[in-house]
Structure 1
Amino acid sequence: MKVLLTHCYTDKNKGDAAIIIATTQLIRAVCQDAEIHMMSTFEAKDPQFRTEHELISRFCNKLHPALFGQPTKFMHFSSDSMRIISFIISVMKGILLLASPSLVRKPFFTEEELYAFKTFVTADVIVSKGGSYLTTQNTSIRQLLSFITMLFPFLLAKRYRKKILIFSQSLGPVCGALQKKLFHLILKNCNHVFLRERFCLESYPEVAKLCNEVRCDIIPDSAFAFDISNVEFDELKLKNQAELNIGLTVVDHAFKYISCDVERSAKRDNYFNALVSLISFITKAGGTIHIFPQVTVANSHKGFTDTSFAKKIVSHFDGTPFVNSVVFYDKELTPFELKAAYSKMDAFVGTRLHSVIFSLSSYVPAINISYHGTKSRGIFNQLTGSDEFVLDIDSIDPDQLIRVVKKALSNRGAISKKLEKDIAVAQEKLLQAMKVALSN
């Protein structure tokens, strides 16, 4: 069986890399001899295609460039207008791909792109891997162009009558009348939609409308099946371990959906202050805060990065008695190293959702600071039947954060035992879903 995973993103997003690897692990558990191919979100001309897939490429037979990738700079120019020129070129090539296979040839396409197209049209099943990327947060041109590139594999699958499914995703929200129309018209041709949580179905009418027309099931996030037991890697040596060790991931959140600069700045400050208050509480109690680099790629075109934000938090404690109790691991770590490190924590506070999933699947109590859509609440609710350990980044309160962490720590024995059972159930659900996905 030939399986093609689409929408494969950078190794530098450790959660996304774990989703991809876990999906290959599930495929091989169902079909040991499967021929697995991956299609990047980056085009062949994009430098990121060459440099940011070293890890995930080890888990497939062949990794291919996107046939319609994210807009990149045109020649040596990086302005938005030049990116639009790049997008127009991609549109023209996309039209050729959709028009006729006889037009898919040199000089319009490189050898790599021709091979990628051949793999696409000869795959037995195409899987849009897990995550949350079929969404628009606003009606900007930038969001619309990105959305179109994400929808293109589904359109191409329809053109060539390929079996395509969505596996373990949160869908929506979709902002804009045109965007909603595209969402419905293109995705209604999916053979099967496996949502990773129910809340997106209940919260967004566009998702409910889609799932009324296609086969739809609710399954856990595929990263719960991310297995590190049979993979060799160098375990991270934790620094300044104490009797109490709390893991932390942060997001340099731009709050770009807020139009008022003053309000946006206030939200960023509030989030920062909540984290600082938590760290002060833990370090004064004799604990160590371990801040991990879950995502090391820029969060937006404006250059927001989790690494710079983490260093800002650490520097806040310079000159205090607790400076050595706030540790940032300023190194490119693999998902395997991160999950192993998280398993050694007493509790975990993650703004990055998949750092929380790594922790929960290692039976470590975890709190999530939610910043996008329904995915956090939905995933927690499905796993534990409650979302009490999910806090909204827009309204996070230092006292509330500390109170929830204290509750997780005081009940960590019972929480860990329950997680051990719940994770086993989640993993079995994912395995059964993959059996359904690969069946004829």
Structure 2
Amino acid sequence: MNAIIVPGVTDLNKGDQALVWESWRLAKDTGLYDEVYILDAGDNEEERELLCKQSEEHGFKLLENILKHPRRGQHKSGEHIKESKVELLKQIKNAAMDFKDTRYLIKICNDLEKVRKNFDDKTYRTVKQFHQAKTIFVKGGGFIHAYGEKTAPYLMWYFLFYVRLAKALGKKVVFLPNSYGPFIGLTVEKQVRSVFGKLDLVYARENVSAQSLGQLMGKKIPVEMDLGFFLEKGSQEEAIKILDKYNLSKDDKIVGVTIRPWRFPGLSNPEALYQKYINSVADLTKHLLAKGYKVALCNQSLGPNSHEDDRNAINDLLAKVKDPNMIWINENLSCDILKAVYSNFYFFVGTRFHSIIFSLTSLVPSIAIGYGGNKAKGIMGDFSLNNYVVQIQDVQSDLLIDMFDKAISEYDTIKNQLNRSMGLVAESRNRLIQDIKSLYK
């Protein structure tokens, strides 16, 4: 009896990598499945290598992804804040073709012979594996949201394609803890309602999302922890080696920082808002350095496109702050090793959501800069850390500095609060395992 985890793995984004790896471990720990496959990613050979290599080296078995991104692996390095009109038009054309093909595939998917005749070998092989699988797991995360973009109708189709395929084949589908909402845009609510109405288990990863999806579906959505909380730390020895390489040690009071490019979807002045965000983080780092802290900038995501590559934002920040105690740990580390590195920090300021989860579960007090839906606000609230989260469009220098100073004054209280919350993590994971097992009783 097999299971498949969708959508594809992205080894360059360490939060996503953790979610896929932990989805795999959770499925395996139910004891129900002989083999658990992970969907690969990448629209060309070079991209696949970047997105899947660490997972393959970890011994995961990969299945071929059959729905390409409308970008087709063509990423323009200078477009991490705004995408050009030409690029957008190309993507719209690709999306229209993909929609037509995938809609037809779902129509005929029960007839493998028809699939073989009408589609390429790769599609046939993957659909065949879906036929043989017992359960399809949608990895934890936060991709079911839309802000009213013109592309929103296709975005929802793209994200929910594998779930539609699984349900067309009569498979059980488990939607692991995700963030949901907002649902703004043509057909978005309708698509979410129609797909989520057929699922076997659905979880939100925080209360804000549970309410958002619950309202839309007219039912209560259970809340369980984001799967990133379950990630076990990698080798501490390896982490110390990395810190040594950058002349850092646990005795230095290190403040870890993650920042990211962001396009501020749905807002009219993305370039100005991005500049304000980078300037505010720059002012915070100057404040930290003046107080004698060392600042470690970390790569939580390195792609696959320029908008998902934190190094672009780090370069923008380093153009504004030059100081020998501001150190860029410029590495492509697997999620478990990255978490081990974070566990040696004194404090953390994270824009990347899973950098916050890695640090909180390592009992490192943190400030979260939230983006992309409800996730940061929801989870910091669930940990009673509401005072330490700000949305990216609302970031200001004095706000970040005041937050940091307040957190340092309450440092031990926050640490104790985190320690108490860790028992909840094991309980949540056990509940998920029991729920999945009960589908087959």
Which category of TM-score, normalised to the shorter sequence, fits these structures?
Answer: 0.7 to 0.9
Call closer, same or farther: CA 1:116–1:41 in 2, change over 3 Å.
Answer: same
Alignment correspondent of 1:224: 229
Alignment correspondent of 1:90: 98
Shift of 1:105: 4.0
- The 8 Å contact of residues 99 and 154 in structure 2, kept in 1 or not, is answered as no
Alignment correspondent of 2:140: 130
1:418 lines up with 2:427 in the alignment? no
Call closer, same or farther: CA 1:73–1:124 in 2, change over 3 Å.
Answer: closer
State how far apart, in whole Å, the 2-side matches of 1:75 and 1:266 are.
26
Call closer, same or farther: CA 1:8–1:115 in 2, change over 3 Å.
Answer: same
CA deviation vs aligned residue, 1:176-215 (integer Å, no higher than 9, x gap): 241211111122111111110110233x3x5423252xx7
State how far apart, in whole Å, the 1-side matches of 2:190 and 2:162 are.
17
1:248 lines up with 2:257 in the alignment? yes
Alignment correspondent of 1:281: 287
State how far apart, in whole Å, the 2-side matches of 1:12 and 1:96 are.
30
1:437 lines up with 2:436 in the alignment? yes
Q: Any idea what SS the aligned residue of 1:127 has?
A: strand
CA deviation vs aligned residue, 1:329-382 (integer Å, no higher than 9, x gap): 222222122111110111000000100000001011011011122111111222
State how far apart, in whole Å, the 1-side matches of 2:56 and 2:178 are.
22
Alignment correspondent of 2:311: 307
**AA paired with 1:145?**
Y
1:64 lines up with 2:63 in the alignment? yes
Call closer, same or farther: CA 1:224–1:56 in 2, change over 3 Å.
Answer: same
Shift of 1:40: 3.5
Alignment correspondent of 1:154: 163
Q: Any idea what SS the aligned residue of 1:121 has?
A: helix
State how far apart, in whole Å, the 2-side matches of 1:7 and 1:311 are.
30
CA deviation vs aligned residue, 1:251-308 (integer Å, no higher than 9, x gap): 122223212xxx43332222122111111111111111000010111566xx574212
| 2:243 aligns with one of 233, 237, 242 | 237
Instruction: Give the 5 Å matches for 1:160-171.
Output: 160-171=169-180
State how far apart, in whole Å, the 1-side matches of 2:114 and 2:46 are.
23
**AA paired with 2:122?**
E
Shift of 1:97: 3.9
Q: Any idea what SS the aligned residue of 2:222 has?
A: strand
Instruction: Give the 5 Å matches for 1:173-192.
Output: 173-192=182-201
State how far apart, in whole Å, the 1-side matches of 2:73 and 2:33 are.
41
Call closer, same or farther: CA 1:73–1:373 in 2, change over 3 Å.
Answer: closer
Q: Any idea what SS the aligned residue of 1:24 has?
A: helix
State how far apart, in whole Å, the 2-side matches of 1:145 and 1:53 are.
25
For structure 1, the 5+ residue unaligned runs are none
Q: Which moved more, 1:68-77 or 1:126-135?
A: 68-77
TM-score w.r.t. structure 1 length? Answer: 0.88
1:352 lines up with 2:352 in the alignment? yes
Q: Any idea what SS the aligned residue of 1:132 has?
A: strand
Instruction: Give the 5 Å matches for 1:26-37.
Output: 26-31=26-31, 34-37=34-37
TM-score w.r.t. structure 2 length? Answer: 0.87
Alignment correspondent of 2:82: none
**AA paired with 2:154?**
L
**AA paired with 1:144?**
P
Alignment correspondent of 2:81: none
| 1:210 aligns with one of 213, 217, 221 | 217
**AA paired with 1:312?**
D
CA deviation vs aligned residue, 1:95-149 (integer Å, no higher than 9, x gap): 13432424444454343332211221221111101111112122313x3323211
- The 8 Å contact of residues 10 and 16 in structure 2, kept in 1 or not, is answered as yes
**AA paired with 1:252?**
P
Structure 1 stretches of 4+ with a deviation exceeding 6 A read: 74-78
Identical positions, percent: 22
Alignment correspondent of 1:112: 122
**AA paired with 2:216?**
K
Call closer, same or farther: CA 1:49–1:243 in 2, change over 3 Å.
Answer: closer
**AA paired with 2:377?**
R
Q: Which moved more, 1:350-359 or 1:394-403?
A: 394-403
Alignment correspondent of 1:373: 373
- The 8 Å contact of residues 35 and 60 in structure 1, kept in 2 or not, is answered as no
| 2:111 aligns with one of 101, 110, 129 | 101
**AA paired with 1:359?**
S
Alignment correspondent of 1:201: 210
Q: Any idea what SS the aligned residue of 2:53 has?
A: coil
State how far apart, in whole Å, the 2-side matches of 1:75 and 1:28 are.
35
